C-alpha cells in the first residue's frame, strides 16, 4: 500500500477554485441574515458568544492536542486534526442548529464572529499547536507556512462575502428577503454535491486510507461536540443556547481546511484525507444529534 503522504488526491486547481467559490456563496447566504444590530445586541449580552468562541478556538484545540498526544498518529494526520480544529465553525452548523431546535440566530452570529476571528486565530492555532508536537513541527518547518498568507486567504474567502452580505441586507432588505431561503438551500445543495463528487473521484483512496483516520475523526468530532456542550453547561447557558454552541463547535469548516492544505501544504495526503473525512462525517453526526434533540423543545 502506498504511504498516505505519497497520495495525491484528485483535486485539481479548478476544483480548488470551485470550492473557494462555493464557500464564498455559502458565507454570503448566511451573511444576508445579519445586520449590524445583531452584532450590537450580542455585544450587549456577549456571554453566549464568548462561550462559543472559547469553545471553538481554545477548548477544541486543547482537546485535539490531547487526542494527538494520546494516540500518536502519523505526523500528517496529527497536523490534519490540528488544522481542522483551528478552522472556524462550518456553515452547515446554522442549518443543523435550526433542525436541532437550538438558537439559530446565535449560531449564525457565532459563524460570523468565528469567521472574522479566524483571520488571526486560525493561523495562530495551526502554528502554536503544530509547533508543540515534534513530528508536526517538522512539517511546519518543511512547508514554511506564512501565517499572514493564511490570514489573507481566510479573509478574502470568508470575511469579504460576509461583509458584502451584511451590507446588502442593510441597503436592500427587500432583495435579501427574496434571496434568503432559496440561496441558503441552493448553496447547501451545491456544497453537498461538491463533497459527493470529490468523494466519488477519490473513492479508491478512501476505501484504502479511511481506516487510518476514521476512528480518529469519530473521536475528534465526539470531543468537539462534548467540549461545546460542557462549555455551555459550565457557563450556565440555557439549553437553547447550549445546543447552538455544541453544534457550532462540532461542525468545522473542513472545506476551508482543504483549501489551506492544498494552498500551503501541497495537498499532503494525511492532512487531506482527515479534512475530507471530517467534511463528510460531521454532517452525519450533526444531523443525528439534531434528530435526537428535535424531539424535545429546548428551554430558553
Predicted confidence (pLDDT) at residue 13 exceeds the cutoff of 60: no
pLDDT bucket at 280, cuts 50 / 70 / 90: confident
User: Which of the listed ranges 183-192, 219-228, 257-266 does the model predict with the highest average pLDDT?
Assistant: 219-228
Work out the average pLDDT over 4-29: 67
State percent of the chain over pLDDT 90: 30
Helix (H) or strand (E) holding 54: helix 47-54
Residues 123, 127, 128, CA angle at the centre, nearest 5°?
115
Q: Can you give the pLDDT at residue 159?
A: 76
Kindly compute the dihedral angle of the four CA atoms of residues 276, 278, 280, 286, in this order, to the nearest 10 degrees.
Answer: -160
Looking at per-residue pLDDT, the higher value among 66 and 179 belongs to 66
Separation between Cα atoms, residue 240 and residue 298, nearest integer Å: 5
Place of cell 492532512: 271
Predicted confidence (pLDDT) at residue 46 exceeds the cutoff of 60: yes
Question: Do 86 and 122 form a contact (C-beta atoms < 8 A)?
Answer: yes
Separation between Cα atoms, residue 135 and residue 181, nearest integer Å: 46
Separation between Cα atoms, residue 144 and residue 264, nearest integer Å: 8
Least confident of 27-41, 87-101, 238-252: 27-41
Question: Do 266 and 211 form a contact (C-beta atoms < 8 A)?
Answer: no
Q: Can you give the pLDDT at residue 12?
A: 57
Question: Do 256 and 10 form a contact (C-beta atoms < 8 A)?
Answer: no
Sketch the domain layout of the chain as residue ranges. Answer: 4-293
Q: Can you give the pLDDT at residue 80?
A: 93
Question: Do 102 and 247 form a contact (C-beta atoms < 8 A)?
Answer: yes
Predicted confidence (pLDDT) at residue 10 exceeds the cutoff of 70: no
Which residue, among 232, 297, 246, 300, has the nearest Cα to 48 in the 3D structure? 232
Q: What does each C-alpha distance from 60 to 39, 93, 243, 245 come to in angstroms?
A: 24, 16, 16, 12
The DSSP call for residue 158 is I
| CATH fold for domain 4-293 | Na+/H+ antiporter like fold (1.20.1530)
Looking at per-residue pLDDT, the higher value among 274 and 156 belongs to 274
Least confident of 9-18, 82-91, 112-121, 246-255: 9-18
Please tell me the pTM assigned to this model.
0.84
Helix (H) or strand (E) holding 16: helix 13-31
Separation between Cα atoms, residue 74 and residue 212, nearest integer Å: 10
Q: Can you give the pLDDT at residue 56?
A: 94
Work out the average pLDDT over 50-76: 95
Q: What does each C-alpha distance from 57 to 120, 169, 221 come to in angstroms?
A: 11, 28, 15
Looking at per-residue pLDDT, the higher value among 93 and 191 belongs to 93
Note the pLDDT tens digit of each residue in 154-185: 777 777 887 888 888 888 888 888 887 787 77
Question: Which is it for the CA torsion 205, 206, 210, 213, positive or negative?
Answer: positive
Upper half-sphere CA count for residue 50 (Cβ side, 13 Å): 9
What contacts 173, CB < 8 A, 6 or more positions away?
none
R_g (Cα) of the chain, nearest Å: 18
CA 155 to chain centre: 15
What contacts 68, CB < 8 A, 6 or more positions away?
78, 81, 82, 133, 136
State percent of the chain over pLDDT 70: 86
Q: Can you give the pLDDT at residue 186?
A: 79
What contacts 288, CB < 8 A, 6 or more positions away?
none
Q: Can you give the pLDDT at residue 97?
A: 87
Amino acid at each position: 500500500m502506498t504511504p498516505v503522504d505519497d497520495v495525491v488526491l484528485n483535486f485539481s486547481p479548478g476544483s480548488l477554485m470551485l470550492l473557494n467559490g462555493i464557500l464564498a456563496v455559502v458565507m454570503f447566504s448566511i451573511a444576508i441574515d445579519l445586520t449590524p444590530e445583531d452584532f450590537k445586541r450580542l455585544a450587549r449580552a456577549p456571554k453566549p458568544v464568548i462561550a462559543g468562541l472559547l469553545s471553538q478556538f481554545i477548548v477544541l484545540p486543547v482537546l485535539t492536542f490531547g487526542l494527538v498526544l494520546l494516540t500518536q498518529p502519523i505526523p500528517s494526520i496529527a497536523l490534519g486534526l490540528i488544522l481542522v480544529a483551528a478552522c472556524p465553525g462550518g456553515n452547515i452548523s446554522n442549518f443543523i442548529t435550526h433542525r436541532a431546535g437550538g438558537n439559530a440566530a446565535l449560531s449564525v452570529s457565532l459563524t460570523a464572529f468565528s469567521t472574522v476571528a479566524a483571520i488571526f486565530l486560525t493561523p495562530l492555532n495551526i502554528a502554536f499547536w503544530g509547533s508543540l508536537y515534534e513530528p508536526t513541527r517538522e512539517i511546519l518547518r518543511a512547508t514554511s507556512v506564512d501565517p499572514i498568507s493564511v490570514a489573507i486567504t481566510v479573509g478574502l474567502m470568508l470575511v469579504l462575502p460576509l461583509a458584502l452580505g451584511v451590507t446588502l441586507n442593510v441597503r436592500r432588505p427587500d432583495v435579501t428577503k427574496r434571496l434568503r431561503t432559496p440561496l441558503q438551500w441552493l448553496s447547501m445543495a451545491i456544497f453537498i454535491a461538491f463533497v459527493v463528487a470529490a468523494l466519488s473521484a477519490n473513492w479508491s483512496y478512501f476505501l484504502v486510507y479511511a481506516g487510518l483516520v476514521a476512528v480518529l475523526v469519530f473521536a475528534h468530532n465526539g470531543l468537539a461536540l462534548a467540549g461545546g456542550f460542557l462549555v455551555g453547561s459550565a457557563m450556565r447557558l440555557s439549553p437553547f443556547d447550549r445546543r447552538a454552541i455544541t453544534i457550532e463547535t462540532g461542525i468545522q469548516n473542513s472545506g476551508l481546511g482543504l483549501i489551506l492544505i492544498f494552498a500551503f501544504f501541497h495537498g499532503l495526503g494525511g492532512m487531506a484525507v482527515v479534512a475530507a473525512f471530517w467534511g463528510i462525517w460531521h454532517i452525519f453526526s450533526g444531523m443525528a444529534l439534531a434528530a435526537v434533540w428535535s424531539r424535545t423543545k429546548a428551554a430558553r
